[in-house]
Protein backbone atom coordinates (compact mmCIF):
# COMPACT_ATOMS: atom_id res chain seq x y z
CA UNK A 1 0.00 0.00 0.00
CA UNK A 2 2.75 2.43 0.93
CA UNK A 3 4.60 1.71 -2.31
CA UNK A 4 1.52 2.62 -4.39
CA UNK A 5 1.08 5.89 -2.50
CA UNK A 6 4.73 6.81 -3.05
CA UNK A 7 4.50 6.16 -6.79
CA UNK A 8 1.76 8.78 -7.13
CA UNK A 9 4.14 11.49 -5.90
CA UNK A 10 7.18 10.50 -7.96
CA UNK A 11 6.54 13.30 -10.45
CA UNK A 12 6.56 15.87 -7.63
CA UNK A 13 10.16 16.19 -6.51
CA UNK A 14 11.96 18.60 -4.20
CA UNK A 15 13.22 20.34 -7.34
CA UNK A 16 9.62 21.46 -8.08
CA UNK A 17 9.03 22.64 -4.52
CA UNK A 18 12.17 24.80 -4.33
CA UNK A 19 12.22 25.79 -8.01
CA UNK A 20 8.59 26.15 -9.03
CA UNK A 21 7.57 26.14 -12.71
CA UNK A 22 8.27 29.33 -14.63
CA UNK A 23 4.67 30.36 -15.26
CA UNK A 24 3.64 33.14 -12.83
CA UNK A 25 0.15 31.66 -12.52
CA UNK A 26 1.48 28.22 -11.67
CA UNK A 27 3.88 29.61 -9.09
CA UNK A 28 1.19 31.62 -7.38
CA UNK A 29 -1.77 29.29 -7.77
CA UNK A 30 -1.72 28.48 -4.04
CA UNK A 31 -1.27 32.14 -3.01
CA UNK A 32 -4.25 33.72 -4.79
CA UNK A 33 -7.46 32.74 -6.51
CA UNK A 34 -6.91 34.66 -9.74
CA UNK A 35 -3.85 35.44 -11.77
CA UNK A 36 -4.33 38.31 -14.19
CA UNK A 37 -1.43 38.61 -16.63
CA UNK A 38 -0.76 41.46 -19.02
CA UNK A 39 1.81 42.50 -21.61
CA UNK A 40 0.65 46.13 -21.66
CA UNK A 41 1.00 48.76 -18.98
CA UNK A 42 0.45 52.53 -18.72
CA UNK A 43 3.57 54.69 -19.09
CA UNK A 44 4.03 58.41 -18.43
CA UNK A 45 3.17 60.59 -21.42
CA UNK A 46 2.95 64.30 -22.25
CA UNK A 47 -0.63 65.03 -23.21
CA UNK A 48 -2.55 68.29 -23.49
CA UNK A 49 -1.26 70.87 -21.05
CA UNK A 50 0.53 68.23 -18.96
CA UNK A 51 4.16 67.82 -20.02
CA UNK A 52 6.65 65.27 -18.69
CA UNK A 53 10.14 64.13 -19.53
CA UNK A 54 9.84 61.08 -17.31
CA UNK A 55 9.76 57.61 -18.80
CA UNK A 56 8.28 55.34 -16.21
CA UNK A 57 5.35 53.03 -15.73
CA UNK A 58 2.28 54.15 -13.81
CA UNK A 59 0.15 52.63 -11.06
CA UNK A 60 -2.80 53.98 -9.05
CA UNK A 61 -2.13 55.72 -5.75
CA UNK A 62 -2.62 53.46 -2.73
CA UNK A 63 -3.83 56.14 -0.32
CA UNK A 64 -6.93 58.32 -0.51
CA UNK A 65 -6.93 62.00 -1.40
CA UNK A 66 -4.57 61.72 -4.39
CA UNK A 67 -5.30 62.32 -8.05
CA UNK A 68 -3.74 60.96 -11.22
CA UNK A 69 -1.33 58.07 -11.54
CA UNK A 70 1.71 57.35 -9.39
CA UNK A 71 5.08 56.71 -11.05
CA UNK A 72 6.16 53.14 -10.33
CA UNK A 73 9.78 54.06 -9.60
CA UNK A 74 9.58 57.73 -8.50
CA UNK A 75 6.18 57.96 -6.80
CA UNK A 76 5.50 61.26 -8.62
CA UNK A 77 1.99 62.12 -9.82
CA UNK A 78 1.10 61.96 -13.52
CA UNK A 79 -2.16 63.09 -15.11
CA UNK A 80 -2.16 60.75 -18.13
CA UNK A 81 -0.66 57.49 -19.28
CA UNK A 82 -0.26 55.76 -22.61
CA UNK A 83 -0.82 52.02 -22.91
CA UNK A 84 2.59 50.61 -23.79
CA UNK A 85 3.67 47.11 -24.83
CA UNK A 86 6.16 45.85 -22.22
CA UNK A 87 7.30 42.66 -23.97
CA UNK A 88 6.69 40.13 -21.19
CA UNK A 89 3.77 39.03 -19.10
CA UNK A 90 3.55 40.46 -15.60
CA UNK A 91 1.06 40.07 -12.78
CA UNK A 92 0.15 41.95 -9.60
CA UNK A 93 2.93 40.28 -7.61
CA UNK A 94 5.55 41.42 -10.14
CA UNK A 95 4.32 45.01 -9.87
CA UNK A 96 4.26 44.76 -6.08
CA UNK A 97 7.90 43.64 -6.11
CA UNK A 98 8.82 46.65 -8.28
CA UNK A 99 7.08 48.96 -5.79
CA UNK A 100 9.00 47.41 -2.91
CA UNK A 101 12.29 47.61 -4.83
CA UNK A 102 11.68 51.30 -5.58
CA UNK A 103 11.49 52.05 -1.86
CA UNK A 104 7.96 53.47 -1.97
CA UNK A 105 5.85 53.29 1.15
CA UNK A 106 3.19 50.57 0.97
CA UNK A 107 0.47 51.15 3.58
CA UNK A 108 -1.05 47.64 3.47
CA UNK A 109 0.33 44.76 1.40
CA UNK A 110 -2.97 42.86 1.00
CA UNK A 111 -4.91 45.99 -0.01
CA UNK A 112 -2.16 47.00 -2.43
CA UNK A 113 -2.23 43.57 -4.10
CA UNK A 114 -6.03 43.75 -4.45
CA UNK A 115 -5.79 47.22 -5.99
CA UNK A 116 -3.10 45.98 -8.41
CA UNK A 117 -5.25 42.98 -9.44
CA UNK A 118 -8.16 45.33 -10.15
CA UNK A 119 -5.81 47.67 -12.03
CA UNK A 120 -4.64 44.83 -14.28
CA UNK A 121 -8.26 43.92 -14.90
CA UNK A 122 -9.08 47.53 -15.90
CA UNK A 123 -6.06 47.71 -18.23
CA UNK A 124 -7.43 44.83 -20.34
CA UNK A 125 -10.15 47.00 -21.90
CA UNK A 126 -7.64 49.34 -23.60
CA UNK A 127 -5.49 48.99 -26.69
CA UNK A 128 -1.79 49.72 -26.93
CA UNK A 129 -1.37 53.41 -27.72
CA UNK A 130 -4.56 54.57 -25.95
CA UNK A 131 -4.19 57.63 -23.69
CA UNK A 132 -5.85 57.03 -20.31
CA UNK A 133 -6.48 58.90 -17.09
CA UNK A 134 -7.61 57.63 -13.72
CA UNK A 135 -10.53 58.77 -11.58
CA UNK A 136 -10.90 57.74 -7.97
CA UNK A 137 -14.06 56.95 -6.07
CA UNK A 138 -14.45 56.11 -2.41
CA UNK A 139 -12.30 53.59 -0.55
CA UNK A 140 -9.60 53.24 -3.24
CA UNK A 141 -12.11 52.50 -5.99
CA UNK A 142 -11.01 53.84 -9.35
CA UNK A 143 -11.72 53.65 -13.04
CA UNK A 144 -9.53 54.17 -16.06
CA UNK A 145 -10.95 56.48 -18.71
CA UNK A 146 -9.82 56.66 -22.33
CA UNK A 147 -8.85 60.20 -23.33
CA UNK A 148 -7.67 59.48 -26.89
CA UNK A 149 -6.86 56.64 -29.26
CA UNK A 150 -3.19 57.60 -29.44
CA UNK A 151 -0.83 60.45 -28.48
CA UNK A 152 -1.45 63.54 -30.58
CA UNK A 153 -5.08 62.68 -31.27
CA UNK A 154 -8.22 63.90 -29.58
CA UNK A 155 -11.76 62.73 -29.89
CA UNK A 156 -12.64 66.12 -31.49
CA UNK A 157 -10.24 65.89 -34.40
CA UNK A 158 -10.73 62.17 -34.98
CA UNK A 159 -11.28 61.62 -38.70
CA UNK A 160 -14.71 60.43 -39.71
CA UNK A 161 -14.62 58.25 -42.75
CA UNK A 162 -17.81 57.74 -44.77
Per-residue buried b or exposed e for 75-84, using 16+ beta carbons within 10 Å of the residue's own CB: eeebbbbbbb
Task: Convert the pLDDT of each residue in 99-119 to its tens digit.
Answer: 999 988 888 899 999 999 999
pTM: 0.69
Task: Convert the pLDDT of each residue in 34-86 to its tens digit.
Answer: 578 888 988 888 776 656 666 889 999 887 777 889 999 888 888 889 999 99
* Distances 152 to 30, 38, 86 between C-alpha atoms, Å: 44, 25, 21
Task: Convert the pLDDT of each residue in 11-46 to its tens digit.
Answer: 333 333 333 344 445 444 334 445 788 889 888 887
Amino acid sequence: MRGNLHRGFESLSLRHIFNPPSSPCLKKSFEQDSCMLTKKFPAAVSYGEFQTKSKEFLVPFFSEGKSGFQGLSSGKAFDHGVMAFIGKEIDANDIFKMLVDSGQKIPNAQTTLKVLERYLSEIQQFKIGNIVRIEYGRELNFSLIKEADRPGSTEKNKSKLP
